[in-house]
Amino acid sequence: MLLNVDMPESAQYLVHDCQGNIIPYVVSFDTETEEVELMIRVKANVGLEVEYDPTKDLRLLMQKVDKEDGTTDVAPIIVKFRLPGAYALKNGNPIQ
């Protein structure tokens, strides 16, 4: 089953790695092939004197995108890979 963020019920699904850790920023997950597409988080640009707080200081890794009208925009970088043992739950229950 292919799950993605465009699905009406996407908020009900959480993707986990083989140890049960929730994988954040998932764009899509294929329950059969265990392929995950996700956006990459990076540490925000904060001063060295500021203590790093992973709940506040993460941003998405962005790339410049050239548009047809000659202007540029930014978009998150999305990577796709196979994650053996990954699984998804819907409302905390296994998907049938």
Q: Residue 16's pLDDT is what?
A: 97
- Per-residue pLDDT, averaged over 64-76, amounts to 94
Residue 80's DSSP bridge partners are 37
Tell me the pairing of strands 78-82 and 2-4: unpaired
> Residue 96 above 80 pLDDT?
no
12 phi and psi angles, rounded to 5 deg: -85, -10
What is the model's pTM? 0.77
> Residue 58 above 80 pLDDT?
no
Q: Residue 31's pLDDT is what?
A: 95
Average pLDDT, the chain: 88
